[in-house]
Amino acid sequence: MSSLTTVEVKAFVPAQDFALSKQFYQDLGFDLAWSDDHLAELRHGDSSFLLQNFYNEEHAGNFMMHLLVNDVDAWWHHVQAQGIATKYGAKPQPPEDHGSMRDFVLVDPTGVLWRIGQNISGRREPVSP
């Protein structure tokens, strides 16, 4: 067995207004695992990312995240029930099928584009090593 094993990989997501972005992600359904003045870890189940108190317009406007979930329609209904579009100007677009993926688009307060989706029939399963 190789000693070159990994534990996880996390993206550093930019935040123009750090406090607002932390609240946005908590309203979206993430738990705030920890936070200091510069960085916060947001977690949902086994998935997490680092929110950074950093903003560069060009960087943020070209930053994308993909969240793979079991039930994209349940996530969509949660976004609607939380009033995220109104509260944050998040610009969500309803779920659509795209080949083997059903997903919807959501833009966070900083301009980061999220695609929240689920695999649908016909999707190839990941290959185990």
Question: In the chain, how many domains are there?
Answer: 1
Q: Is the Cα dihedral 77, 79, 82, 83 positive or negative?
A: negative
CA distances 13 to 69, 83, 88, 118, Å, are 19, 22, 17, 21
Quote the CA–CA distance of 94 and 76 in Å, as a whole number.
7
Q: Identify whether 126 is part of a domain.
A: no
Check pLDDT > 50 for residue 69: yes
Q: Identify whether 34 is part of a domain.
A: yes
Q: Identify whether 36 is part of a domain.
A: yes
User: For residue 121, what pLDDT is reported?
Assistant: 74
State the chain's mean pLDDT as an integer. 92
Q: Which two tokens stand for residue 94?
A: 């309803």
Give the DSSP H or E segment for 23.
Answer: helix 18-28
19-38 pLDDT, tens digit per residue, is 999 999 999 999 999 999 99
**Domain harbouring 61, CATH code:** 3.10.180.10
Q: Identify whether 6 is part of a domain.
A: no
Task: Write down the pTM of the prediction.
Answer: 0.88
User: For residue 1, what pLDDT is reported?
Assistant: 60
User: For residue 129, what pLDDT is reported?
Assistant: 53
Residue type present at position 50 = L
User: For residue 91, what pLDDT is reported?
Assistant: 84
User: For residue 127, what pLDDT is reported?
Assistant: 46
User: For residue 106, what pLDDT is reported?
Assistant: 96
Q: What's the domain range around 98?
A: 12-119
Please answer whether residues 10 and 46 qualify as being in contact, where contact means their C-beta atoms are separated by less than 8 angstroms: no
User: Average pLDDT of 117-126?
Assistant: 71
